Amino acid sequence: MKNEYLPYKVTIASIQKESFDTNTYKVVFDDEKTRDSFDYRQGQFAEISILGVGEAPISITSSPSRKGYLEFSIRAAGSLTNKIHEMKVGDSLYVRGPYGNSFPYEETKGKNIYFIAGGIGLPPLRSLINMTMDNRSDFGHIKILYGSKTPDELCFKQELDEWKKVENTEVWLIVDKPCDGWGCSIGVVTELWKDTDIHPKNAVAFVCGPPIMIKFVVQKLTQSGFKDKDIIMTLERYMKCGIGKCGHCNVGEKFVCVDGPVFTYEEIKKIPSREKVI
């Protein structure tokens, strides 16, 4: 059996600058056998490391429907991530995983889908978004509602434009602080309720972003008539080991790294309020 703590070596194949502090890294496994056999599901994460520097949990933003590589959107926010931002194409990283549960996929076929994200919350959802785009006829109407502080901090700008062109798909953008030439909405993401209809009938909503943003989006969704089980989100916790052993990510009776990071609002409501998960 493979040692759960033993990472795979990967090579950086490309680096896409998303904003002033966030890059998306496309990596490939050095070992071809691992490259062919590594399976993951939309919404899972991996532990990314540089030997001698550290390790951190990062969502896999690439889609399982697109083979041969992994992608991670990484914000420079600490010693490890700052070091990764100094790296170049051809440099090596280490990856172990995948860990956690995943966004439901088969269960959402035939439904209308709402993706609601704030800031760096779009990368975890991108994995599922591209799964739906690659199998577009399996789903109903899709709306992507995405907000950030400034236009520069919007991730995947090119893909946002591409998603807009897909039939039966809408993309709504909003920022707190617009720049010259900004032609979309201004404010926080919940302000988009004024711009577009949000209907719960035969629909499911996927939410990812800062906890305070998730809190208010969930309030708007429940006010719009969404059932708790149809509101699906991710929880932010420091998932140190990734396999439910260290206890760093414990909330109530759950370990976010094993039981999550994906939860329905129905599940979240059962976690003791003192945990303040959202």
Average pLDDT over residues 9-25: 96
Residues 117 and 224 in one domain: yes
Predicted confidence at residue 182, as pLDDT, reads: 87
Asked if residue 190 is part of any domain, the answer here is yes
- Do 223 and 149 reside in the same domain of the chain? yes
Tell whether 240 is covered by a domain. Answer: no
- pLDDT computed for residue 107 by the predictor: 95
- Which pLDDT does position 181 carry in this prediction? 83
User: Does 16 share its domain with 78?
Assistant: yes
Q: What confidence score (pLDDT) does residue 75 get?
A: 95
Q: What is the pLDDT of residues 220-238, one digit of tens each?
A: 999 999 999 999 999 877 7
* 35-50 confidence digits (pLDDT tens): 888 899 999 999 999 9
Residue 212: inside a domain: yes
User: Are residue 15 and residue 110 in the same domain, yes or no?
Assistant: no
Tell me: pLDDT of 239 over 90. Answer: no
The boundaries of the domain holding residue 180 are 106-234
Q: In this structure, is residue 274 part of a structural domain?
A: no
Residue 163's pLDDT is what?
97
For the chain, give the mean pLDDT: 93
Read off the pLDDT of residues 242-273 as tens digits, 9 standing for 90 and up. Answer: 888 888 888 888 889 999 899 999 999 988 76
* Percentage of the chain modeled with pLDDT above 90: 77
Q: What is the pLDDT of residue 243?
A: 87
Task: Quote the pLDDT of residue 149.
Answer: 94
Please, are residues 35 and 56 in contact by the beta-carbon 8 Å criterion?
A: no
How does strand 70-75 pair with strand 54-59?
A: unpaired
Domain-located, residue 257: no
In this predicted structure, what is the pLDDT of residue 250? Answer: 87
Residue 40 lies in a domain: yes
Residue 111 shares a structural domain with residue 228: yes
Q: What is the 3-state secondary structure (H, E, C) of the chain?
A: CCCCCCCEEEEEEEEEECCCCEEEEEEEECCHHHHHHCCCCCCCEEEEEECCCEEEEEECCCCCCCCCCEEEEEECCCHHHHHHHCCCCCCEEEEEEEECCCCCCHHHCCCEEEEEEEHHHHHHHHHHHHHHHHCHHHCCCEEEEEEECCHHHCCCHHHHHHHHCCCCEEEEEEECCCCCCCCCEECCHHHHHHCCCCCCCCEEEEEECCHHHHHHHHHHHHHCCCCHHHEEEECCCCCCCCCCCCCCCEECCEEHHHHCCEEEHHHHCCCCHHHCCC
> If you average pLDDT over residues 203-231, what whole number do you get?
96
pLDDT given for residue 218 in this prediction: 96
| Residue 3 reports pLDDT greater than 90 | no
Number of domains in the chain: 2
- CB hemisphere CA count around 13 (13 angstroms): 12
pLDDT in tens, 134-155: 999 999 999 999 999 999 999 9
- The predicted pLDDT at position 143 comes to 98
Do residues 74 and 157 both lie within one domain? no
Residue 1's pLDDT band, with cuts at 50, 70 and 90, is low
Q: Is residue 113 part of a domain?
A: yes
Give 145-197 pLDDT, tens digit per residue: 999 999 999 999 999 999 999 999 999 999 999 888 888 889 999 999 999 99
pLDDT at 274 over 80: no
